[in-house]
Each structure stands twice: as structure tokens, then as C-alpha cells.
């Protein structure tokens, strides 16, 4: 939690990131906040009340990504908000990222990469830690193992299963990636591997769990996409 909080503070105080203001863009934040609450309400979160689950929208249309740091600090780029076509897809992506935090994938991966000593130094000494930049960099460029990705994909369907959303919403994101070609496809595939296999898994898990949700709220999503970010 402390690790995520330090990343949150760093992103919010650094000039490298342009934060979409919550005060000036309440509709965008309220919209994502509602989706987040629906995901958290599914009943299986161990850290629902313990983690922060704080949303930050980052203004960068070229980055088609979202991530959730340890402790539930959620970051969503405007690039992915504009890339997706409906609310169920966004819910799927968010649920996937929240799954990484809930299952403590980031914490485990960071411990494996940097070791507990270095992380404790970072946690207790913050900006005074000689490892500060290195650990922040590590958190920002975190790559999960295939096993963790699979688990987060399963979380995504699970968390959405008892909602009105199509619980395989995240599949839409990967279907879109598969339709890309050229340089953009390569770039997207480097951060989102195995799209075909993952699409199948989303669909088959939805079947298996007999999820009934059928909505994607494409209309609402289009309205949100039309809002000008200030
Ligand atoms: Zn992931």
C-alpha cells in the first residue's frame, strides 16, 4: 500500500505526467468511479475496504494503457478511454487491472525483482532512499508474468459476472488490438500479448460461469468520449 502511495504521490507531483483534473472533469471521474464501485461490489474482494482504489486519469492520447499499482491506485490514460468502444470494455479492463492489485501481483513481482531489503528502504525512506528512482521506475514499467495475466483476466470475468455488463467485456479490447496492423499492432502486442488466446479465455469463462449480463452501454460511453477533457 505504501509502495503504491509513493508512486501515486510521485506521479501527482512530477511534471512528466499531465493529470486530468478531477475538479474540472467531474463527469469523466464520476463515470469511471461508478464502474469501479460496481466492480468492487461483487463481494469477492479481500481488500475492498483496505486498499485506496483511487482513480487518476492521465492525459496522454498516445498511450493505450491502464494500470493499478499495489494498494489499488488506478491509473487510466486518455489513450485507452478513447480507444475503447463501450463501457463493458472499460469495465473489463478496469476489473483486470484491479485484479492485479487485489491478488497482489505487483507486490510479488516487485519483491522478486528488487528484493525485500531494497523495497523496505524505499517504503521507509521515501524520496531519501537511494533506490527511490529505481523502484518508482520498476513500478511504472512493471511487466507481469503470463500466469498473472491469466489470473487477472479471470478476475475480470469473475468480478463482472453478477453485474449487468457483458462479463467478457475485456475481450473487446483484445479483438480491437487484433484488427490493428503495422507499427501500432506491434507496439500494442508488446504490452498486451496473446490476444487470440485471451479472447477465447474471456468468452469461455463467461460461458462456464453462466454470467447473465448482456449490456455494453455503448451509447453512454460515446457520450463520455465526446466530452472535452479540460
Ligand atoms: Zn494485466
For the chain, domain boundaries: 2-226
Q: Under the phi-then-psi rule, with left for phi > 0, alpha for psi from -120 to 50, and beta for the rest, what region is 218?
A: alpha
**CA–CA gap between residue 164 and residue 157 (Å, rounded):** 12
What pTM value is reported for the model?
A: 0.96
Q: Under the phi-then-psi rule, with left for phi > 0, alpha for psi from -120 to 50, and beta for the rest, what region is 129?
A: beta
Please give the distance, rounded to the nearest whole angstrom, from the Cα atom of residue 128 to the centre of ligand 1.
30
C-alpha cell at 223: 457520450
From first to last of its 230 residues, the chain has per-residue pLDDT tens of 999 999 999 999 999 999 999 999 999 999 999 999 999 999 999 999 999 999 999 999 999 999 999 999 999 999 999 999 999 999 999 999 999 999 999 999 999 999 999 999 999 999 999 999 999 999 999 999 999 999 999 999 999 999 999 999 999 999 999 998 888 888 888 888 889 999 999 999 999 999 999 999 999 999 999 999 98
Q: Which residues contact 219 (CB under 8 A, 6 or more apart)?
A: none
Q: Which residues contact 144 (CB under 8 A, 6 or more apart)?
A: 100, 105, 106, 109, 152
Please give the distance, rounded to the nearest whole angstrom, from the Cα atom of residue 202 to the centre of ligand 1.
13
Please give the distance, rounded to the nearest whole angstrom, from the Cα atom of residue 20 to the centre of ligand 1.
23
Please give the distance, rounded to the nearest whole angstrom, from the Cα atom of residue 190 to the centre of ligand 1.
12
Amino acid at each position: 500500500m505504501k509502495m503504491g502511495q509513493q508512486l501515486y504521490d510521485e506521479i501527482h507531483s512530477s511534471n512528466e505526467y499531465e493529470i486530468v483534473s478531477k475538479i474540472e472533469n467531474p463527469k469523466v471521474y464520476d463515470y469511471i468511479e461508478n464502474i469501479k464501485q460496481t466492480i468492487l461490489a461483487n463481494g469477492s474482494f479481500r481488500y475492498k475496504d483496505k486498499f485506496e482504489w483511487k482513480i487518476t486519469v492521465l492525459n496522454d492520447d498516445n498511450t493505450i494503457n491502464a494500470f493499478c499499482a499495489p494498494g489499488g491506485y488506478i491509473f487510466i490514460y486518455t489513450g485507452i478511454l478513447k480507444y475503447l468502444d463501450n463501457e463493458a470494455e472499460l469495465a473489463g479492463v478496469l476489473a483486470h487491472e484491479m485484479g492485479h492489485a487485489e491478488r497482489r501481483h505487483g507486490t510479488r513481482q516487485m519483491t522478486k525483482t528488487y528484493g525485500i531489503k531494497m523495497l523496505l528502504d524505499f517504503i521507509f525512506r521515501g524520496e531519501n532512499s537511494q533506490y527511490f528512482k529505481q523502484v518508482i521506475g520498476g513500478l511504472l514499467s512493471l511487466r507481469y508474468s503470463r500466469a498473472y495475466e491469466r489470473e487477472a483476466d479471470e478476475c475480470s470475468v469473475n468480478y463482472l459476472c453478477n453485474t449487468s455488463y457483458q462479463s467478457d467485456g475485456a475481450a473487446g479490447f483484445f479483438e480491437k488490438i487484433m484488427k490493428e496492423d503495422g507499427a501500432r499492432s506491434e507496439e500494442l502486442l508488446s504490452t498486451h500479448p496473446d490476444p487470440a488466446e485471451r479472447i477465447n479465455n474471456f468468452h469461455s469463462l463467461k460461458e462456464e460461469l453462466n454470467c447473465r449480463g448482456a449490456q455494453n452501454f455503448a451509447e453512454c460511453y460515446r457520450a463520455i468520449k465526446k466530452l472535452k477533457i479540460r
